[in-house]
Amino acid sequence: MPLGEHVLTDYASLRLSLKAHPMALLRSTFNALGYVRSDALATLSLTKSVKVAGIVLIRQRPGSASGVIFSTIEDETGIANLIIWPKVFERYRRIVLSARLLGVRGKLQREQGVIHVVARELFDMSSFLIGLSEKHGGGSGFLSPADEVRKPGADQRGRPPRSQDSLAQVLPKGRNFH
């Protein structure tokens, strides 16, 4: 199995992979788009806008926070904590609630050893996950050769193969507030 498909399959069943982090496989693309790794946030200037991306782990909206959403994303080097103000949330509501791979542009904030990115813009980067298996030697979805022998293009139960759109849904949605 190609590495990209192996990682996606691990995430589908275990919600993690020991082979690689999805962002490690996508890092060159995200570097070219100007995204920094989360471990770099500790040393970057506080005066410039920063772009960071990662797998969404948690979205929370405490009742005592006046509508502010706190989210945590993860890349191959660690986590980044996000602050999403109510006005930004209303503008990017669908992205905040549905993205599996989230890109954020915002202002870096460091206080008492805690690092946050105060979001100004949010981007659903989940579509990059579709190309993960294709770029890393696959594109055939999650079918085994035995499935192809039984009925070409179908799984063991005779259903059609997963569409490429469903590959982006493999990663967990993250823990959400309700």
For 35-49, how does the pLDDT look when each residue is reduced to its tens digit (9 = 90+)? 999 999 999 999 889
Lowest-confidence segment of 21-35, 65-79, 112-126, 153-167 by average pLDDT: 153-167
The single-letter code of the amino acid at 133 is S
Closest by CA to 51, choosing from 127, 123, 110, 128, is 123
Locate 34 and state its tokens. Answer: 């100007």
Which value, to the nearest 10 degrees, does the dihedral of the CA atoms of residues 79, 50, 126, 91 take?
110
Q: What is the mean pLDDT of the chain?
A: 79
User: pLDDT tens across 86-143, in order?
Assistant: 999 999 999 999 998 999 999 999 988 899 999 999 999 988 887 665 555 444 444 3
The token duo for 7 is 């990682």
Average pLDDT, stretch 145-170? Answer: 45
The arrangement of secondary structure in 3-130, i.e. its CATH architecture, is Beta Barrel (2.40)
Contact (CB, 8 A) for 7 and 23: no
User: What are the boundaries of each domain within the chain?
Assistant: 3-130
Residues 16, 125, 99: CA angle, nearest 5 degrees: 70
Q: Which residues 6+ apart lie within 8 Å of 141 measured at CB? A: 133, 161, 162, 164, 167
Taking the C-alpha atoms of residue 148 and residue 150, their distance in angstroms, rounded to an integer, is 6
Rounded to 10 deg, the angle between the 127-135 and 22-32 helix axes is: 110
